[in-house]
Structure 1
Amino acid sequence: MGARVRKGDTQEIRRLNRRAILEHLRQGPLTRAELSRRTGLAKSAISRLVDELLQEGLLEEGAFTSPPLGRPGTLLHLRPRARFALGAELGVEGTVLLALDWRGEVLWAREWRHDPHAGPEERLDRLRQEVLPRATGALGLGFTLPGVVGDRLLLAPNLGWRDLDLRPLLSGFPLAVAMENDAKASALSEVFFHGEANLAYVVLSTGLGVGVVAEGRLLRGANGAAGELGHWLGPGERACACGRVGCLETALGLGTLLAHHQALGGRAEDLEALLHLARQGDPLALQALAHLGEALGRFLANLAVAYDPALVVVGGKAAEFFPFLEASLRRSLEAHAFVEAHRALPVRPSVYGHLAPAVGGASLFLARFLELGGLWAESPRRNGGRYEEVAFGDRRGLGA
């Protein structure tokens, strides 16, 4: 469903009308006449706003239509790559940086590894150096972390970071910066690109995190810790990076998958090698992955009881292993489901694979841009300063 136009002051009405046009065009190309019918706006208003969006480079005109009745019309499209944002994931073993356009296309991606014990200063300085030559024209940089994120980073156990105000480290970035939990940002990107209103997004890599969207709203909790299900306590006896014993991610994390494969006699030394072996049909690799799929299915049965999602998306490195997890996961979920509907709960991998958390970071800015009808840009007082709403075709805008 497209955006509904509400009453308000002139600028608010203009913003909402532009948003309605852009949201309808996100579903596919339309003529001006079709936009008028779908939005309920007068043809003159549609024509004026479309001309604005064309001048700002957000739309482009395509082929002519030949309807059985009435005049031919020109199809309007969202212009590919017209606006983009940068997204980054600060993971345990490495960082991903990418550019994402407003239609969801990854324009480029860079990845680098670092010492797992590297602190926030070192990691953010390297990220800043990578961003500097690539920031021109970007709406902003959204970066994600595997931890509890509020106004500050409260806790990221697998990074060893606790109670950090990262804002002073962001002052040298040449564009607006926002940070978010990796699973929550990934869940928001699913809402933005696919319109899912009730979903759980499971990020499974070194750790385990979940972002939950219920009736279109992201669940955050009082401290931003909602969804940290990797730290549910279970019967296990392994020490967790958070300092407790028996956290669920000690059984489901991909480090445990690799260790199990090696305990079976497997020869993979890292996850990439394990994935390669699985693709070749190696029986020990497939056995370890089937074991993880069964455990993940039980976890999803519990998750379904807690949140009752309409869809589960699996992201993080586990998305690349999903073809080898799916069969045992599905059998386990069907066997342990609490209500009949959960037996057939749709579960799919993220289309972005291990890039998904960085895509989620970029979508923080892309979603805001669309929400404001393309009338928003960051003011010069970045990273904590106020936002300034201007057309991107204005002299002050990023599209100048």
Structure 2
Amino acid sequence: MRKGDTQEIRRLNRRAILGYLRKGPLTRADLSRLTGLAKSAVSRLVDELLQEGLLEEGASTSPPLGRPGTLLHLRPRARFALGAELGVEGTVLLALDWRGEVLWAKEWRHPREVGPKERLERLLAEVWPHVPGPLGLGFTLPGVVVEDRLLLAPNLGWRGLDLKPLLQEFPLPVAAENDAKASALSEVFFHGEANLAYLVLSTGLGVGVVAEGRLLRGAGGAAGEVGHWLGQGGKTCACGRRGCLETELGLGNLLAHHQALGGQAEDLEALLRQAKEGEAKALEAIRHLGEALGRFLANLAVAYDPALVVVGGKAAELFPYLEAPLRQSLRTHAFLEAHRDLPVRPSVYGHLAPAVGGASLFLARFFELGGLWAERPRRNGGRYEEVAFGDRRGLGA
């Protein structure tokens, strides 16, 4: 046996136990049956997890056959992570527990021209009161992110940005990711879908694609930047080119179309309020966007053939009004018969989804490692403790 194999087996067995308990409460006997581990091994690992505060015991069971057992649960809020979205016009910061519950969320707006240093300084000030405690802070950006570098974020006007120097003052582990990619990973983590396209539609348009459980990144990290597919339009995009798809499908264009129809909404929140009130021009503008999105999804289905499309960003809150024209347009333009009824649903987290995706970077890593990020035994032989954020191998790497 190679050095470290015993510890790796322990890690994998803990991960299996935690993974089954994420689906619902189980007894030790249930875990032994599901994992194939001996009951003694399950009891030993469960005792570890109880001691570490990750599990709690609940009600006793009375099966018709066999001995009674005690149900084990993931302990609510036993571990949590912070997630943030650095958007074009504002920032979202939230705490997400390992069961997917948003513990709290805070949002603030800022002008587009505010630079990365100022935005991250404000984020650091908001994070400080919540440290220690979180596993880490994952934040998302609307652009091409490769490890600690932002290659390009057209709608922010940022290019070739080294994030490392800007993150040195943060008092906890930090990871950066593209907003659509992080959101797609959170869908894999929380819902287990192995083939999906996650559409973030707000100021811009991006897609995170998961195929066979692996996130598509591309050779340069730009996979999914579908907002910069070139169309026939003549509008100049924030990237400097003319005719990029997001100039037609971005929510800024939705608002401009509404105003061209004679609508009075000054922002998307006002437009959504008017749609809820049944205002005709607001509903017409949203219907027009829904038809365009249906055509776009017909193209996306040909390119990636996902089993599911999840709509996130601000568009998730418009989905009740987008859904009917979107589905009709998709049926009309679908290439394969199967694509006519491609499942499309809004993110359950609405516009908070990119920040949830950021927090999921750390939560998914925690589960992958069986709750053992890195280990060093205490001198008295007591329990192990989690330390710093590990490497980037694992979910979606």
TM range (shorter): over 0.9
1:299 pairs with 2:296: yes
Alignment partner, residue 79 of structure 2 = 83
1:245 pairs with 2:242: yes
Question: Match for 2:108: what amino acid?
Answer: W
Deviations 1:203-251 (A, max 9, x none): 0000000000000000000110000000000000000000000000000
Shift of residue 396, structure 1, vs aligned partner:
5.0
Secondary structure of the equivalent of 2:92? strand
Which among 136, 140, 148 is matched to residue 140 of structure 1? 136
Alignment partner, residue 36 of structure 1 = 32
State the alpha-carbon separation in 1 of the partners of residues 359 and 233 from structure 2. Answer: 36
Q: Contact 2:375–2:384 at 8 Å: present in 1 too?
A: no
Secondary structure of the equivalent of 1:49? helix
Identity of aligned residues (%): 82
State the alpha-carbon separation in 2 of the partners of residues 351 and 198 from structure 1. Answer: 18
1:1-400 pair list within 5 angstroms: 9-151=5-147, 152-376=149-373, 388-389=374-375, 394=383, 396-397=385-386
Shift of residue 115, structure 1, vs aligned partner:
1.3
Question: Match for 1:160: what amino acid?
Answer: G
Alignment partner, residue 391 of structure 2 = none
4+ residue runs of structure 1 moved beyond 4 angstroms? Answer: 390-396
When the two structures are aligned, how many residues end up with a matched partner? 382
Question: Match for 2:221: what amino acid?
Answer: G
Deviations 1:43-76 (A, max 9, x none): 0000000000000000000011110111110000
State the Cα RMSD in Å.
1.5
State the alpha-carbon separation in 2 of the partners of residues 218 and 8 from structure 1. Answer: 29
Shift of residue 161, structure 1, vs aligned partner:
0.1
Question: Match for 2:204: what amino acid?
Answer: G
Instruction: List runs of 5+ in structure 2 lacking aligned partners.
Output: 389-397
Q: Contact 1:137–1:398 at 8 Å: present in 2 too?
A: no
State the alpha-carbon separation in 2 of the partners of residues 115 and 257 from structure 1. Answer: 20
Secondary structure of the equivalent of 1:138? coil
Secondary structure of the equivalent of 1:299? helix
Q: Contact 2:372–2:385 at 8 Å: present in 1 too?
A: no
State the alpha-carbon separation in 1 of the partners of residues 221 and 359 from structure 2. Answer: 20
Q: Contact 2:375–2:385 at 8 Å: present in 1 too?
A: no
State the alpha-carbon separation in 2 of the partners of residues 206 and 65 from structure 1. Answer: 52
Alignment partner, residue 382 of structure 1 = none
Secondary structure of the equivalent of 1:29? coil
Shift of residue 395, structure 1, vs aligned partner:
7.0
Deviations 1:309-330 (A, max 9, x none): 0000000000000000000000
Normalising by the residue count of structure 2, what TM-score does the alignment of the two structures yield? Answer: 0.94
Shift of residue 136, structure 1, vs aligned partner:
1.7
